[in-house]
């Protein structure tokens, strides 16, 4: 069997900002921010007694959203088997966001139940699913959870790491450089890629520490993440920068694509580029990077 995954279409997910749905000022502010995706949060950032109010505010807010902005609008719901989760799913059907982010996923069925619910409610083409990776059980079942992205209409298309919950449950220390978390983070990246999913690194809580954030963004990029979940507008620029396409990398990608297009290299699977071997796979990789650079330029024009 061919196990090479088919990737979902390329989407910009450099900066994924969480906005508490109960915070009217943050909701209002979010429309003008330069992030690639917004997660409107109904879960942990909203007190139990504020859930209903937050849901209502979110439904109103969605009526004002510019759906042609190219930015993704995601709703993080409460656990779907609880009373708030069921009501959140009703709000989702009203809002029709680009995706629903599922909290505290532990096993494949947690994803499949919501995928089936959306299909049964007639939202066949409707919201995709994103899954939080924030429980120890999720890490143990990661491959099977990620694999749900190939079934049920491919609704699952992104994993988002949640280290605050994971550290709370496991006791893994919060140390700069994340030495004991890196092995787990890499596991999430590999599981996502094996099933063709995007993967977003966890939030950085200290939003006044710009240097610390920049270092963690670079680290996430080096591990293979597509972007970072954020908690504050001041964090957007660092994530866009770290997960963007530096000019030198774009120039390199252009050179690789040009080398394979050159007449003298026609029909070659491997090429000598100024003393370095480049293979067809590097040209594919370069093409994807250039497509990402195009998306970033389009986004800038819309801003």
Binding of residue 26 to ligand COA (CB under 6 A): yes
- Distance, CA of 295 to chain centre: 16
**Site for ligand COA (CB under 6 A): which residue of 12, 16, 45, 198?**
45
Residue range at the interface with ligand COA (CB under 6 A); choices 37-45, 131-139, 166-174, 284-292: 37-45
Given the DSSP bridges, would you call strands 15-20 and 227-230 parallel, antiparallel or unpaired?
parallel
CB of 2 to ligand COA, least distance (A): 37
Three-state secondary structure of the chain: CCCCCCCCCCCCCCEEEEEECCCHHHHHHHCCCCCCEEEEECCCCCCHHHHHHHHHHHHHHHHHCCCCCCCEEEEECCCCCCHHHHHHHHHHHHHCCCEEEECCCCCHHHHHHHHHHHHHCCCCCCCEEEEEECCHHHHHCHHHHHHHHHCHHHCEEEEEECHHHHHHHHCCCCCCCCCCCHHHHHHHHHHHHHCCCEEEECCCCCCCCHHHHHHHHHHHHHHCCCEEEECCHHHHHHHHHHCCCCHHHHHHHHHHHHHHHCHHHCCCCEEEECCEEEEHHHHHHHHHHHHHHHHHHHHHHHC
Tell me which residues in 191-250 interact with ligand COA (CB under 6 A): 203, 231-233
Residue range at the interface with ligand COA (CB under 6 A); choices 38-46, 90-98, 210-218, 288-296: 38-46
Q: Which does 195 bind (CB under 5 to 8 A by kind): ligand COA, Mg ion, none?
A: none
Q: Which does 165 bind (CB under 5 to 8 A by kind): Mg ion, ligand COA, none?
A: Mg ion
Tokens of 152: 């049920």
Kindly tell me which of 100 and 231 has the beta carbon lying closer to ligand COA: 231
CB of 166 to Mg ion, least distance (A): 8
**Site for Mg ion (CB under 5 A): which residue of 165, 198, 201, 226?**
165
Q: Where does residue 189 fall: left (phi above 0), alpha (psi -120 to 50 degrees), or beta otherwise?
A: alpha
Kindly tell me which of 30 and 135 has the beta carbon lying closer to Mg ion: 135
CB of 164 to ligand COA, least distance (A): 6
Residue range at the interface with ligand COA (CB under 6 A); choices 15-23, 59-67, 191-199, 210-218: 15-23
Binding of residue 97 to Mg ion (CB under 5 A): no
Tell me which residues in 27-46 interact with Mg ion (CB under 5 A): 44
Tell me which residues in 172-211 interact with Mg ion (CB under 5 A): none
CA angle 148, 282, 237 (to 5 degrees): 70
Binding-residue total with ligand COA (CB under 6 A): 15
CB of 45 to ligand COA, least distance (A): 4
Binding of residue 20 to Mg ion (CB under 5 A): no
CB of 266 to ligand COA, least distance (A): 51
Which positions lie near ligand COA, rule CB under 6 A? 17-20, 25-26, 29-30, 41, 44-45, 203, 231-233
Which positions lie near Mg ion, rule CB under 5 A? 44, 134, 162, 165
């Amino acid at each position: 069997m061919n196990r090479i995954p088919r990737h979902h279409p390329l989407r910009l997910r450099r900066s994924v900002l969480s906005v508490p749905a109960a915070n009217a000022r943050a909701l209002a502010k979010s429309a003008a921010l330069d992030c690639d995706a917004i997660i409107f949060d109904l879960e942990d950032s909203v007190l139990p007694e504020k859930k209903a109010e937050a849901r209502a505010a979110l439904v109103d807010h969605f009526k004002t959203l510019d759906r042609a902005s190219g930015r993704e609008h995601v709703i993080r719901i409460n656990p779907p088997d609880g009373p708030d989760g069921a009501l959140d799913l009703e709000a989702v059907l009203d809002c029709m966001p680009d995706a629903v982010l599922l909290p505290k996923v532990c096993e494949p069925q947690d994803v499949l139940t919501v995928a089936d619910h959306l299909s049964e409610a007639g939202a066949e083409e409707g919201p995709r699913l994103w899954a939080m990776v924030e429980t120890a059980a999720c890490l143990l079942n990661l491959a099977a959870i990620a694999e749900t992205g190939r079934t049920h209409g491919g609704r699952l298309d992104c994993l988002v790491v949640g280290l605050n919950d994971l550290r709370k449950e496991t006791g893994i220390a919060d140390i700069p450089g994340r030495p004991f978390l890196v092995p787990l983070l890499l596991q999430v990246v590999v599981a996502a890629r094996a099933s063709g999913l995007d993967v977003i690194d966890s939030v950085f809580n200290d939003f006044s520490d710009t240097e610390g954030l920049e270092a963690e963004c670079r680290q996430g990029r080096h591990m293979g993440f597509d972007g970072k979940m954020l908690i504050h507008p001041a964090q957007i620029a660092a994530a866009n920068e770290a997960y963007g396409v530096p000019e030198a990398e774009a120039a390199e990608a252009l050179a690789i694509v040009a080398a394979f297009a050159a007449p003298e290299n026609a029909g070659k699977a491997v090429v000598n580029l100024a003393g370095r071997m480049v293979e067809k796979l590097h040209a594919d990789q370069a093409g994807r990077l250039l497509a990402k650079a195009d998306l970033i330029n389009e986004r800038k024009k819309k801003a």
